[in-house]
Chain A
């Protein structure tokens, strides 16, 4: 009981000293009864500035994980660019003296569920391709380039891929890829409605 009162008396005295020191704008250092220096520093007097790095590291790791995950999803997907033709028909004023460029039609069908199970049929005076690879070499062969004597298709020759209704999308893409790989730039899909 007595000890408690002594202690609270001691606390009171020192708190008053701290307040006085704060009013003067100074720090207050007290020699404690057991000889240790106790720092009671009010306000701005002294002190070290320490930055916590924890949150920054958290943020960095989170961003790292985010980018790792996000890039992983789009890494293996690629695409072909294709322009869909305007089929509204008959409204554009065509040059009456220009010759029509007859598009080269490639009819694609599926005969099974494997990648090779596809049929190809090409318009024009050439042999019929047996596979997508064959279609590529055929189109490449007949492309008009300085090194091909028998080439008659320019690179901007319109090529229309005409899949039948039940053709698997896989086979449509194979045919498209063959034409694209041969360097043709004007490839579209046709048929259907």
Chain B
């Protein structure tokens, strides 16, 4: 008797398709999510105003500036998109150049500003000044820059 028939037609074979699907999806997932979370959503304590009259954050055409919180209301620097800039004059000049480029590309750009609730205004203000100056440098007709102040309402 032939062994071929005794064994029957059953055959075990691993299907690779779902594994490949999973792998690619995981890759895509981590690429997308890590960019958003780690670079643009710096962990910090955002201000929590009471009775806040805020609106939802719009995701279109946004640029995010994070004021990186340090100790005792000081800061470690600024982060524009995913690039860090120091808080000194050199860092500010570089950041201004980058912002100007962004404004030239999109004059209606809105900048989301994220700052820790404990950060002192003297460190937050330069970021606002830079946005304003960059909009002016890029030749914005209106001369006005639009900023979104990001908070977490109570």
Contacts and interface: CB of A to CB of B under 8 A. Distances in A.
Interface in B92-116: 110, 112, 115-116
B132 A87 contact: yes
Interface in A23-66: 32-34, 36, 38, 52, 54-55, 58-59, 62-63, 65-66
Interface in A149-193: 163-170, 172-174, 176-177, 180-181, 189, 191-193
B56 A78 contact: yes
A69 interface: yes
B121 A172 contact: yes
Nearest to B149: A80
A135 to B, nearest CB: 12
A10 B117 CA distance: 85
Interface in B26-54: 26, 29, 32-33, 36-37, 41, 46-54
A98 interface: no
B25 A59 contact: yes
A105 to B, nearest CB: 15
A116 B131 CA distance: 30
A166 B5 contact: no
A89 to B, nearest CB: 11
Contacts of B48: 115, 170
B61 interface: no
Given A54-B17, A80-B148, A181 B22 contact: no
B36 A55 contact: no
B87 interface: no
Contact of B1 (A33, A38, A166): A33
Given A62-B29, A77-B57, A80-B54, A165 B121 contact: yes
A1 interface: no
B138 interface: no
Nearest to B69: A169
The winner among B32, B49, B128 for most chain A CB atoms within 10 A is: B49
Contacts of A65: 29
Contacts of A54: 15, 17-18
Nearest to B22: A58
B22 A62 contact: yes
26 contacts: A10-B2, A32-B5, A33-B2, A34-B1, A52-B15, A55-B18, A73-B41, A74-B57, A74-B59, A78-B152, A78-B153, A79-B112, A80-B149, A82-B146, A82-B148, A82-B149, A86-B132, A86-B144, A87-B132, A136-B51, A168-B121, A170-B118, A173-B49, A177-B53, A189-B128, A192-B121
Interface of B: 1-2, 5, 9, 15, 17-18, 21-22, 25-26, 29, 32-33, 36-37, 41, 46-57, 59, 67, 73, 110, 112, 115-122, 124-125, 128-129, 131-132, 135-136, 142-153
